[in-house]
Amino acid sequence: QVQLMESGGGSVQAGGSLKLSCTSSTSSQRTHCLAWFRQVAGNEREGVASIGSDALTSYADSVKGRFTISRDKDKNTLYLQMNSLKPEDSAMYYCASGQIRQSTLEGDDYLYWGQGTQVTVSS
């Protein structure tokens, strides 16, 4: 069983930055894709950014140029650097570990999920 633990969420003003981290309990996910999703209560979950085992990345159009996903395989940790934050970025952010190698923003491709970390951006 893979356990994922997010950290780094918080409250920030528009234009500010946050860096989210997600640590895995095992190293078995080194060869699988990892991703960040977000969800606002009452809305559908949205894929934000993903990174494959080959380090190729995918981003939602809404965050391109502002967010950067990265992974440190030695530390079993996934990161999401979020810059130029907007109020519409406010959501619960979840990291997820996938079942395939290549980068994907499809939620169905992910098997393990963290508990989430809240990001709130005020105007």
pLDDT the model gives residue 11: 98
pLDDT the model gives residue 44: 95
Distance CA 11, CA 101 (A): 33
Distance CA 22, CA 7 (A): 6
pLDDT the model gives residue 100: 86
What are the residue ranges in the chain where pLDDT is below 70?
Answer: none
pLDDT the model gives residue 117: 98
pLDDT the model gives residue 105: 94
pLDDT the model gives residue 31: 82
